[in-house]
Amino acid sequence: MTGIRTTCPYCGVGCGVVVNLQEGAVRVRGDERHPANYGRLCVKGAALGETTGLKGRLLRPMLGDSEASWEQALDHAGERLREIIAAHGPRAVAFYASGQLLTEDYYAANKLMKGFIGAANIDTNSRLCMSSAVTGYKRAFGEDIVPCSYEDVEKSDLVVLAGSNAAWTHPVLFQRLARAREANPAMRVVVIDPRHTATCDIADLHLPLRPGSDAGLFVGLLRIIQGQGAGAAAWAAEYCGLAQDDVATFYDWFLSAPRAITLYTMGINQSTSGSDKCNAIINVHLASGKINRPGCGPFSLTGQPNAMGGREVGGLANQLAAHMNFEPDDLSRVARFWGTERLAQTPGLMAVELFDAIARGEVKAIWIMGTNPAVSLPDSHKVSQALAVCPLVIVSEVVRETDTSRFAHVRFPALAWGEKEGTVTNSERRISRQRAFLPAPGEAKPDWWIIAQMAARLGYGEAFSWQHPHDIFNEHAALTAFENDGMRAFNLQPLTGLAREQWEAFEPWQWPAGDLPVRRIIPVEPREHGAQTNALYPLLLNSGRIRDQWHTMTRTGAVPGLMRHLPQPYVDVSPVDAARFYLTEGELARISSPRGVMVARVRLNEGQRPGELFVPMHWNKQFAREGGVNALVEGRCDPLSGQPESKQTAVRILPW
Ligand code: SF4
State whether the beta carbon of 224 lies less than 6 angstroms from ligand 1.
no
Per-residue pLDDT, 618: 77
pTM of the model: 0.96
What is the predicted pLDDT for the residue at 237? 98
Which CATH number describes the domain made up of 62-126+306-510? 3.40.50.740
Band of residue 555 on the pLDDT scale cut at 50, 70, 90: confident
Ligand 1 touching residue 171 (CB < 6 A): yes
Q: Does residue 622 register a pLDDT over 70?
A: no
pLDDT score of 118: 98
Q: Enter the DSSP assignment of 25.
A: E
Would the CB of 45 count as within 6 Å of ligand 1?
yes
Strand partners of residue 365: 93, 392
**Looking at residue 628, what is its pLDDT?**
87
Terminal Cα-to-Cα distance of the chain (whole angstroms): 54
129-300 CATH, one of 1.10.287.3510, 3.40.228.10, 3.30.465.10, 3.40.50.1980: 3.40.228.10
Region 79-96: what's the mean pLDDT?
98
Percent share of the chain, pLDDT over 70:
99
Radius of gyration from C-alpha coordinates of the chain: 24
Residue 203: strand, helix, or coil: coil
**Range(s) within the chain of domains with CATH label 3.40.50.740:** 62-126+306-510
pLDDT of residue 544: 84
Report which ligand 1 atom has the smallest distance to the Cα of 170.
5
ipTM given for this complex: 1.00
Average pLDDT of the residues of the chain: 95
Is the pLDDT confidence value at 1 over 60? no
**Model pLDDT for residues 172-184, shown as the tens digit of each residue:** 999 999 999 999 9
pLDDT band at 287 (very low <50, low <70, confident <90, very high): very high
Partnered with residue 571 across adjacent β-strands are: 602
Q: Please report the pLDDT score of residue 557 as a whole number.
A: 81
CA-to-CA distance for 474 and 293, rounded, in angstroms?
Answer: 31
Distance 587 CA to ligand 1 centre (A): 32
Which residues is 392 bridged to in the sheet? 365
Atom index in ligand 1 nearest the CA of residue 37 equals 4
Mean pLDDT on 556-580? 88
Cα distance between residue 130 and residue 650, in whole Å: 23
Beta-strand pair 612-616/539-544: parallel
Q: 539-655: which CATH architecture?
A: Beta Barrel (2.40)
Query: Rounded mean pLDDT of 330-354?
Result: 98
Give residue 23's pLDDT: 85
Ligand 1 binding pocket mutation candidate from 7, 11, 265, 553 (most atoms within 8 A of CB): 11
Q: How far apart are CA 145 and CA 158, in angstroms?
A: 22
Quick one: average pLDDT of 323-332? Answer: 97
Please give the average per-residue pLDDT across 61-89, as a whole number: 98
Q: Beta partners for 22?
A: 25
- Mean pLDDT for the stretch of residues 376-402: 95
36 ligand 1 Cβ < 6 A: no
Strand partners, 421: none
CA 41 – ligand 1 centroid, Å: 6
In terms of Cβ atoms closer than 10 Å to its own Cβ (0-12, 13-18, 19+), residue 22 is: exposed
Q: Give the residue whose CA is nearest to atom 6 of ligand 1.
A: 45
Q: Tell me if 13 CB under 6 Å of ligand 1.
A: yes
CB distance 275 to 132 below 8 Å: yes
The pLDDT-based confidence of 624 (bands split at 50, 70, 90) is low
* CB of 14 sitting under 6 A from ligand 1: yes
Q: Are 60 and 68 in contact (CB under 8 A)?
A: yes
* H/E stretch holding 182: helix 171-183
For 541, the enclosing helix (H) or strand (E) is strand 539-544
For residue 620, pLDDT over 90 is answered with no
Q: How confident is the model at residue 621 (pLDDT cuts 50, 70, 90)?
A: low
Q: Binning pLDDT at 50, 70 and 90, where does residue 451 land?
A: very high
Is the beta carbon of 11 within 6 A of some atom in ligand 1?
A: yes
Q: Which atom of ligand 1 is nearest to the CA of 43?
A: 3
What is the rounded average pLDDT of the residues 348-356? 97
The residue type at 72: Q
8 ligand 1 Cβ < 6 A: yes
Output the CATH code of domain 4-51. 2.20.25.90
Neighbour tally for 56: CB within 10 Å: 14
| Ligand 1 centre distance from Cα of residue 269 (Å) | 21
Q: How far is the CA of 491 from the centre of ligand 1 (A)?
A: 27
The CATH 2.20.25.90 domain(s) of the chain lie at 4-51
Asked whether 44 lines ligand 1 (CB < 6 A), one says yes
Amino acid identity, position 288: S
**Residue ranges matching CATH 3.40.228.10 in the chain:** 129-300
Rounded mean pLDDT, 280-305: 96
pLDDT tens string 203-243:
999 999 999 999 999 999 999 999 998 899 999 999 999 99
**Ligand 1 pocket mutation pick from 31, 37, 434 by most atoms within 8 angstroms of CB:** 37
Spatial distance between the Cα atoms of 589 and 603, rounded to a whole number of angstroms:
10
